Amino acid sequence: MYALVALLTAAPAQPAAPLQCPAPVVARGDVKAGPPLTQTFDLVHRGGAGALTVTKIEAGCGCVRRGLSAEVLQPGETARLAVEINTLTQPDGPNRWQVAVGYRHDTPAGPQTGELLLTLTATLSREVVVSPPQVAFSTTGAATHALTIADGRPTPLTVLRAVSTSPHLTATVAAPAAGADGVRRQTVTLVLAAETPAGQREETVVLQTDDAAYPEFRVPVRVLKRTPGGLSVTPEAVALRLAPGTPEVSALVQLRNPAGTPVRVLHVQSDSPAVTARWPDTAAAVTAVRVTVAAAAPGEARLRVRLAEPPGQEVVIPVSWTGAGRPPGN
């Protein structure tokens, strides 16, 4: 007994991590969904001699934007990490967002690496509904999507104008109209031009309003412009919801060649460990990829599907999920 106590007392304490945050977990309480939620974290170099370099900043959700004031810190210096959450795309109720900050500390004894985990929580409630909260285009030509802004408050807001980050994506704001249910609705029509260059890109449409509490809504827009004769993908984007305590949820994506020739998947690559895929190793007129999400928090990812037939083609499938499930293995 005494020998065990002595052994524990003599055990050396683990050295503190060189990169620290005075408040790594921030709870914002009740927050109105729609406007961006911003939070700043202080990152302090508390280690010994040697510069500390921030090597990565990763978030589990594409709704998170990050901005860092400095990437290299000397001992005692502080950098400010600004985190912005697009609450428009997040579910009502309790939410948790995490950001992992990777770093390298160049000590006299050699480089040491580590990771600092930051957490932001809030309980979201929604007065104004933007539907859909995010848009995905996948087309070979021109395409159109409509957004609806619904506000049932006694003094509803009005969208004054919509601004797009792409010259090939225009947004037209219609006049608001009150429905029989007392909710005032306004439509914004998004048009993707036929001359949009082929490829995939992330754009944003900003809806500017006359309400000081909701000055703007930022609607994410994924654009996948395919060359004519490319594969038909159904659905073009996968959106799933995890039920509490559910380990995983799945969906099927069908791939079809408009020319009627067989389709065979060679490989599927996911940019998130939460998303996996399975597919048949045979050629068929219509083939399917089973997309599975196993996660404990909302998030987004992309699947890159490479094809053996027709050879050389690649399809990108956006995947998003909401709700709070259960991490794999629990």
Are domains 13-125 and 229-330 of this chain identical in fold? yes
The low-confidence residues of the chain, meaning pLDDT below 50, are 1-8, 11
Name the residue type at position 8. L
Q: Who's near 180: CB < 8 A, 6+ residues apart? A: none
Q: Count other Cβ atoms within 10 Å, centred on residue 304.
A: 15
Asked if 142 and 193 count as a contact pair (C-beta separation under 8 A), the reply is yes
In the chain, domain spans: 13-125, 127-228, 229-330
The domain 13-125 having CATH identifier 3.90.1580.10: the answer here is: no
The pLDDT score that the predictor gives to residue 226 is 76
Instruction: Provide the Cα torsion 20, 22, 27, 31; round to 10°.
Output: -100
Q: What is the pLDDT of residue 102?
A: 95
pLDDT the model gives residue 129: 94
Q: Which CATH number fits domain 229-330: 3.40.50.11540, 1.10.150.120, 2.60.40.10, 3.40.50.150?
A: 2.60.40.10
pLDDT the model gives residue 162: 97
| Phi, psi for residue 7 in degrees, rounded to 5 | -65, -40
User: CB count, 10 Å around CB of 1?
Assistant: 5
Q: How far is CA 167 from the centre of its chain?
A: 23
Alpha-helical runs (H) found in the chain = 2-10
Please give the pLDDT value at position 79: 97
CATH code given to domain 127-228: 2.60.40.10
Taking CB atoms within 8 Å and a gap of at least 24, the contacts of 177-182 are: 181/152, 182/152
Q: What is the DSSP letter of 8?
A: H
